[in-house]
Amino acid sequence: MSETDRRIVVLNTGSSSLKFAAYSLTPEAPPLLSGAVDGIGGTARLQWSGSSGDHPVQAANPHAAMEALAALANGPLSGNIVAFGHRIVHGGPDLNHSVLVDDTTLSRIEAVSPLAPLHNPPALDVLKGLQKRFPGVPHVACFDTAFHRGHPAVADRFAIPDSLYQDGVRRYGFHGLSYQYIAGAMKTQAPEIAGGKVVAAHLGSGASMCALVNGHSVDSSMGFTALDGLPMGTRSGSLDAGVILWLQQQKGWSVDKVEHFLYHDCGLQGMSGLSNDIRVLLASDAPLAKMAVEYFIYHTARTAGALAVSMGGIDGFVFTAGIGEHSIPIRARVLERLRWLGFDLDEAANAKGHGRITTETSRLHAFVIPTDEERVIARETLALLPPGRP
């Protein structure tokens, strides 16, 4: 059997989506197949490379979406699969690099799953389902938190007793697989800033920012959980802990109600009362929609300033992920707020949406670089395959 028949399959599991990609044993080549099941739990739709349009599927949860993929005759779960790679959002304090999955690893991931309730449990469900379907095929877990584990202590700690820090209550940072890809991609796509002090902004339904010094993370906007930092589609972002106490003490809210509120009813959706989709909000004349957009822009720029302090300066800025890669007005308005730092927007370049989007004479340069978490997972998986495989 030829090398192109053998494949690594990557699963990037979210709370309402399941992204997938199948790679030959040369992950730098284009994927053999890629796509996603979106709208899980509602009107789920499947799309993949080479297909025409979206296809409705029955998927009440990510595990069911995986089962739907397995039913496809020539889908991502067909062919000679030599390994599976998985994005796992939270690895806790100890899982600080990608690992081959065994029973011990699974137990450790499950132990920290309460810190990522929207992401770790469905990812584990998909992983375990594939273990049953494909016995003997190895699995590799790649952690979004791992890329940030080299932070200085002052960036990772809260002002709480050390005993709680030793229990794992600390700032972890997320979207690490995305930032790992960006750190590598800058070497060819933005070489003038790749070795410097760069703020990378992963702006999507989940949003965060990272301070990169010579390609290494030194600080992140996200903390103990993926609730912290920037406002997101439905997540609150940074919030005074006193608000939680007030909701419980004065409103009588239960822990479960507070959790659902913070993850599902806040962010752009909560502020606007209209949508968690930045495109819908940008097109709306409703005052609260405009406020939600301005809030998102304000806090993105504000966080860039804070991360510049973490690095002791700034040499460049990178936009990535759904909003960062595709929203022309958001990029323009963020850089307008950062103009005082030396970012001079090139409107024509920004409209194209890739590469450098600042003028030739701009003191600092900003770039748009599409992220590729699945490729990072494929690389990590190939590197960790046991002896004799493939």
Q: What is the pLDDT of residues 254-281, one digit of tens each?
A: 999 999 999 999 999 999 999 999 999 9
Tell me which amino acid residue 149 is: R
Average pLDDT, the chain: 93
Domains of the chain: 3-150 (3.30.420.40), 192-368 (3.30.420.40)
Among the listed residues 314, 316, 311, 334, the one whose alpha carbon sits nearest the alpha carbon of residue 324: 334
- Confidence at 209, pLDDT banded by 50, 70, 90: very high
Q: Per residue in 170-192, pLDDT tens?
A: 999 999 999 999 999 999 999 99
pLDDT in tens, 308-355: 999 999 999 999 999 999 999 999 999 999 999 999 999 999 999 999
Q: Of the candidates 31, 9, 4, 49, which has an alpha carbon nearest to the alpha carbon of residue 130?
A: 9
Of 70-84, 122-136, 296-310, the least confident: 70-84
The predicted structure's pLDDT at residue 1: 39
Q: Give yes or no for a contact between 144 and 175, defined as CB atoms under 8 angstroms apart.
A: yes
How many angstroms separate the CA atoms of 130 and 182, rounded?
29
pLDDT exceeding 90 applies to what percent of the chain? 80
Q: How far apart are CA 7 and CA 228, in angstroms?
A: 37
Catalytic, 144? Answer: yes
- Whether the per-residue pLDDT at 83 is higher than 90: the answer is yes
For the stretch 11-41, pLDDT in tens is 999 877 899 999 998 768 889 999 999 888 8
Query: Token pair for residue 59?
Result: 């998927």
- Rounded to 5 degrees, what are φ and ψ at 321? 75, 180
Query: Which helix (H) or strand (E) element contains residue 124?
Result: helix 120-133
* Mean pLDDT, residues 70-82: 88
Residue 296 has pLDDT above 50, yes or no: yes
Tokens 């309460």 sit on residue: 114
Catalytic residue, candidates 144, 156, 219, 372: 144
pLDDT interval class at 117 (50, 70, 90):
confident
pLDDT at 170: 94
Q: How far is the C-alpha of 91 from the C-alpha of 107, rounded, in Å?
A: 11
Distance separating alpha carbons of residues 106 and 155, to the nearest angstrom: 28
Read off the pLDDT band of 75 (50, 70, 90): confident
